[in-house]
Amino acid sequence: MSAPAIEIASRAEAARAACARVTDPEVPVLTIEDLGILHEVDVDERGRVTVSILPTYSGCPAMGVIALGIETELAKDGFDDVRVELTNTPVWTTDRMSEAAREKLRAYGISPPGRGAGKRALFEASADVACPRCGSKDTERVSEFGSTACKALWRCRACREPFDHFKCV
């Protein structure tokens, strides 16, 4: 019994590595692993792969594309029988993003979300948001809603550039 168990474990590892190559269609510098969207990858004894992913913002239309990306990447590595499930247990939050992912976002021109999702008081000003281009904290919010469900519109008063800020949820 132990040999197949080890084989299944290494197959699961290979399947997870394939899934981890999938990038977010809206923010292509981040993989779904970086974002904390990729949750569990299991392979059963018949070779069937079950991938669970955590939906981000309720209305994010990227989930369908991400599921398709997972199937495509797994097929490249020989996994043909794939099921992708959405689960809200645990619930996704921006706190699941790694430091490395935050740095990638900044380098891409999107100011990363602050830590401590859901802690902000209702009408309290948001914490300092640094400009991803010049680093200045002399910035202002243009709109809390931007080009996608995950982004708000900001501008920098120092370098005068507009930029996207990843919403903290």
Partner 1 sequence: MQAFSDPRAAWLARLGDATLILGHRLSEWLSRAPTLEEDIAMANLSLDLIGQTRAFYTHACELEGGESDETTLAYRRAEPDYRSPLIVEQPNGNFADTMARHLIFSAYALPLYEKLAGSNDAETAGIATRSSREMAYHLRHAGEWMIRLGDGTAESHDKAQAALDDLWAYVPELFEADDLDRDVAASGFGVDPSTLRENFAAAIGDVLAQATLKKPAERRGQRGGRSGRHSEHLGHVLAQMQFLQRAYPEARW
Q: Which residues of 22-52 are buried (b: 16+ CB within 10 A; e: fewer)?
A: bbbbbbeebbbbbbbbbbebebeeeeebbbb
Member of 12, 20, 33, 57 binding partner 1 (CB under 8 A): 57
Size of residue set near partner 1 by CB under 8 A:
28
The residue (of 15 and 38) whose beta carbon lies closer to partner 1 is: 38
Taken as a whole, the chain contains a residue count of 169
**Contact flag: residue 58 with partner 1 (CB under 8 A):** yes
Member of 65, 93, 96, 108 binding partner 1 (CB under 8 A): 93
Residue type, 64: G
**Contact flag: residue 163 with partner 1 (CB under 8 A):** no
Distance separating alpha carbons of residues 139 and 163, to the nearest angstrom? 10
From 35-43, 71-79, 86-94, 104-112, span contacting partner 1 (CB under 8 A): 86-94
Q: Which residues of 81-98 are buried (b: 16+ CB within 10 A; e: fewer)?
A: ebebeeeeeeebbbebbe
Query: Of the candidates 91, 107, 89, which has an alpha carbon nearest to the alpha carbon of residue 30?
Result: 107
**Contact flag: residue 2 with partner 1 (CB under 8 A):** no
Site map 140..159 versus partner 1, x via CB under 8 A: --xxxxxx-x---x------
**Contact flag: residue 65 with partner 1 (CB under 8 A):** no
Helix (H/G/I), strand (E/B), else coil: 19: helix
Report the nearest approach of partner 1 to the CB of residue 78 (Å).
29
Residue type, 92: W
**Contact flag: residue 120 with partner 1 (CB under 8 A):** yes
Which pair of structure tokens corresponds to residue 74? 């797994």
The residue (of 75 and 145) whose beta carbon lies closer to partner 1 is: 145
**Contact flag: residue 60 with partner 1 (CB under 8 A):** yes
Q: Which residues bind partner 1 (CB under 8 A)?
A: 55, 57-61, 87-93, 117-118, 120, 122-123, 142-147, 149, 153, 167, 169
